[in-house]
Structure 1
């Protein structure tokens, strides 16, 4: 059949604007003109993987991170990409979900679940689920979405191909809601924006497809391989630092203010405070501010090289080992024990009030300053190693010169403060009751002996647990 180009153009236009069976009519229109042809050449476009993608994915799998690939590529391309980036290997069993109806999708999921139960007898076996966009529409339906999710969770890898941007967002949202886990979505194009915004953590890659993904993300990186450093180094460090900072802040305040409760027992619940008012006011502002700041900025579990070399170290971050309900109450109970020891031990040491060789005696404020000084040593050091430093050393993994300055400097700051503050009055009409307090405290042998024994006694249990 001979047809001129104007007639064919009209036929193609009708096919492209047809409401029913558009794809079939477009194919028929193309067959009219595409016949008796001689192939002169062929061309192809290669979308190469970025450098380090395979190593990055391998590291993520070693860290027990479940990977879901959501792509618009066709199934064959998605599988080939999975092989090239080591997401799946020749030993991986592929569960293909290609169904045209809800019932067939349900049957396919149930069949693969039975196969998976049989394969559990061989723990070395690895399984990947491959599902296309049409089947995914049925799989995310209310009837079988839980069965589909159970199948995916049991598998090592899930690849969703031929999915739309809306489907990507639906998958992320459903996994986030029903698994109660933290999800991370990473993409480099405008079609990934909805997915990135639905995840707990969205990461955009600035590349050839523009900056839409970066603008919608929480973090922006230049290449996919930088994801390992973002998670395993900065993510793990930040998690550990924040956990210690929060727990330590509760700990040091409970240690101080619960002591007022113990003092109230012997003050007839009169409301009389044990510590001088400026000492209390500067407690969080000056004397115990630097250690948590140094801890929150410079502490790290391991070096960056070690964290990158051993991805399994990231598992402690995933399992919330450093901050959970049990850990929180252990810290609270620990703070209460320390408050008891830090009040009652100095109280017993000063029970007869005679703490100098000449028989002189002090008052409640002397007890308060001695307790505060000993407490200041405990808080400034925050979990200390025996004979070297107190409490901070036990939970500080990395010691820098700033960490030393923060911990030891906070202790020195309190001793210097009490010397200066005890000599303000009457030159400066402030702290009259503190006049001469430095000489009273520093000339007492009981104080210096308690400065060694009482913090060590309070931290003995912590040292034992740490060792």
Structure 2
């Protein structure tokens, strides 16, 4: 939530920059990047926008390939045989009897590696050669992505991907809004809203772009996808303009439902956040390969023993027969060549017995895996007819690992779920509407009660709250005045489901400006002035808006988790018990729940609060904490309106498949960028979580608290620690950062190993990779990572 509320924050941010806010200046040049706009060469040299995800290059292929091949002990052994065979008078066979087969084996392996890596190069080349329109030296030109430089102004058209990390200047939509899809970054398929600065939103033409001159000062490249700090200094502005995450368009994101945008490149190539969250392609060694290496060492030891025995026996025979068979030249003592003869004899036996280790073993295994990859691609049971997508084994090195997996690390959005929200049930004033067994919400009874029931006032407030308390942006593609022609873009699929079902019931949200929201309440047009937006956060677990109604009343509408809304209710609320029972029913059906409440504010009460809120919102230090504290003071004494139940549709047969995997002894870890409530609800829907399990939650704000909580939970398991228990662990991304610290890592691992299911929420791509690496190195188990976005690449590469 909270994307569009950035519109209302700009005036406060500008005031903050006047007072020297933290984004307006940086301590020194070592901690910031300075980029000039339309001012000639950049003050510093930045890396190019060329990217490579391939395993080899022309220069590195031979050394990296040979290193990978000669990690296999069998290949080292046969290389030694080849060398020994070149010594004159030693080999009982030809000089090339092993060299030719070994060369053939290496050539076959090289061809396989080249074929697979050429595919990666082709994909990289296709990306690097994509065309984009850039404004350089006063003219527009089409150029390849790899030629884009830091400081360039680019124009991106609808449905195109961003070639680098950009700062949004303006767009073809009102108020410089644009919509992006970030599924390649965080796996979320819903659209997100980005907002250009008011100071640059007027730029719509080349002439206006030519007049744009200034500098962007921003933080150094980092892998944090959700935060950004910088300032824009333009010649037409007196003071620096703060830049935040609302103005950043990241590489890997796609422009959607927006005609065009202008953006300034700030990070390019491997400095982009997408690439910084991608790990280098590792040289993976399969479990079978490790076993083969150990067996090769055992056979080598056996071979050496046989050679030693044979050499000793040969020397004994020579000693006894050197006089009798003098014509064989066995009498070498006189020439002082005894030890040389013993060494030659040992090497002769070593070459003679080298077939104890079959030279065809490795190439046979590689060939079988290579062909097996094509069988996977041809498997009709792995074909998805809905998307016309067959299985695609991009590498054949790890096929045999699939049957030995002990841990599965799965993304949530788009992997376990379809990310399609459906409004199923609601509770208003203690009355439940809808049924979890129906595919759609039946609004007949609700609309009937809206006309004539005793609770009609509560129903009206309930519907008004859902139509106004959100961050959805309406669109009117038909360009008509009919409210029913409105379509919606939302950064949250939950909010999209709520405003959509309101529209179906005749309460249509159809217009938004920075200061107002207009709805059509069953034929009556109503405009609500947005006085303040108190944004959603994982700490607050709620969102509120303060509006002025058409009747000039000031109301606070609040929606959020039931745990935070219930504790903010007035002392006398007769519907709490019934609503709590309904919430429990929704949760048992696996629905995502929200509680809704409101309160009426007097003008004096609001004005008194507003003074404190303005002070907090312009504070230089600890602004978020101060704003949250002030918001909490007004979000009290709420009147409970009811609750909603929303279903997040799972992929087909997910619960059944996960149950079978559990029965097979495989542990499931869900690593998602979504908030905790979302992940937990999906956990229940997937049957990964249940009320019969010991459900543990880690949501600590400091490392000391995290360490204390981890040790407390570990002591709770006692002798069952690191053994599989009927327990689950849910941990937040911020807490996970502390849990992965050296002082907490072992306790976290012990606790996680004791649980049947682990769910990590609000995690970054790098944290996903770190979790997989921790489990892989600590348990020596085979791990499998599954994901559908670029944010999952790191953990997929580190799994084994």
Question: So what's the TM-score if we normalise by structure 2?
Answer: 0.22
Question: So what's the TM-score if we normalise by structure 1?
Answer: 0.35
Structure with greater helix share of residues: 1
Higher relative contact order, structure no. (Cα contacts within 8 Å, ≥ 6 residues apart): 2
